[in-house]
């Protein structure tokens, strides 16, 4: 089983950007942690990040036929991107939306998620552990759907 772990804008700045909200773990350390977790649960992952909406759309489209599911933290695009929503719907892969913080506990504009409409689950406010939770969930979801 192969999962795409996709991160949107500013997530490459983990460990630097607002550590009181997002913690001190760097993006590279997050990817290393997820590779270890993937090996433990018997899945392959590809960790990708982009600050550019079109690149994220391309990565979602490239997952079609090569990937079994997507863990996506779209960052600020959560609240603005119909293009990411449409890409997720187009490929039809099970996806889990992840947020390190809980957007519902932050500014009002962060409470709207366009992405959620194409996801089988949302995990929010669990810190970076939410990514591992999403991987575990997707593995079970995909195995049960087969």
> Which of 27, 77, 99, 131 is flagged as catalytic?
99
Contact 97, 63 (CB under 8 A): no
99 is catalytic: yes
User: Where would I find the H helices in 19-81?
Assistant: 19-22, 27-41, 53-63
Catalytic status, residue 77: no
Q: Report helix, strand or coil for 107.
A: coil
* Distance in angstroms (rounded) separating the CA atoms of residues 56 and 88: 10
Catalytic residues: 22, 99
């Amino acid at each position: 089983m192969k999962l795409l772990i996709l991160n949107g804008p500013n997530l490459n700045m983990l460990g630097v950007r607002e550590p009181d909200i997002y913690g001190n773990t760097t993006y590279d350390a997050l990817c290393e942690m997820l590779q270890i977790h993937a090996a433990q649960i018997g899945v392959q992952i590809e960790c990708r990040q982009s600050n550019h909406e079109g690149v994220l759309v391309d990565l979602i489209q490239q997952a079609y036929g090569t990937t079994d599911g997507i863990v996506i933290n779209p960052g600020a695009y959560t609240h603005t991107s119909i293009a990411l929503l449409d890409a997720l719907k187009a490929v039809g892969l099970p996806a889990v939306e992840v947020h390190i913080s809980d957007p519902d506990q932050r500014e009002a504009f962060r409470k709207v998620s366009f992405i959620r409409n194409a996801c089988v689950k949302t995990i929010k406010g669990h810190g970076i552990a939410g990514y591992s939770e999403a991987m575990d969930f997707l593995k079970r979801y995909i195995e049960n759907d087969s």
